Homo-oligomer: A and B are copies of this chain.
């Protein structure tokens, strides 16, 4: 059995589990904005789906569980990304903050009425669907080393060239995202380090040393 839901609530209130997280800190009742600590589960897979959420700031991780406890992190979200999707009025994924996050929520009924919101979500869904397509390629066809290289490139935007990337995920979370075990992820990091493609200041601080080789490994992201 595996530890699934991390309850290191960073000191902030947790929204009323699975029901309506209506803590209106800012904004009107139909689109409240919430400030949430890191490592808080915002949504539970299987709960009734009443709201759609938008990440304003911070990072959120969506995951799904198999009955026997195997977990897959299906999406990593940043500012602008949308979650709280549903099949048959049931949330399809759990959502957990990776960092402190600001989240905007909309009532699903508002979706029908607000065409501006609809247009924004449409663009965002298209982008997220494209990312999922790439991720299917990663999960279905790439080796462990390639997956980790891809992961790091994805987290390190072109802009920040020489910067140090802070990973806000544990090896286990990265493994669940990449369809590997934490040991294999760790070995892959060590191998990338050994080859001189990355430098690990600490376990959660990476600097990409040789971006060209990384790209080649990741199949040209």
**What are 23 contact pairs spanning A and B, CB under 8 A?**
A62-B133, A64-B134, A64-B137, A66-B137, A66-B141, A66-B142, A72-B136, A72-B141, A74-B132, A74-B137, A85-B129, A86-B126, A92-B130, A92-B133, A93-B133, A118-B118, A122-B125, A128-B129, A129-B129, A132-B136, A139-B139, A139-B179, A140-B179
Tell me, yes or no, whether A171 is within 8 Å of chain B by CB.
no
**Count of chain copies:** 2
Using a CB–CB distance below 8 Å, which chain A residues touch chain B? 62, 64, 66-68, 70-72, 74-75, 85-87, 92-93, 111-112, 115, 118-119, 121-122, 125-130, 132-137, 139-142, 176, 178-179, 219-220
Report Cα–Cα, A137/B136, bound state, in Å.
10
Cα–Cα distance between A137 and B112 once the two chains are bound (Å): 30
Contact with A118, one of B119, B129, B136 (Cβ below 8 angstroms): B119
A178/B140 in contact, CB under 8 A: yes
In contact, B141 and A70 (Cβ under 8 angstroms): yes
Contacts of A72 in B (CB 8 A): 136-137, 140-141
The 8 closest A-B pairs by CB, nearest first: A140-B179, A139-B139, A125-B125, A132-B132, A72-B137, A74-B136, A72-B140, A74-B133
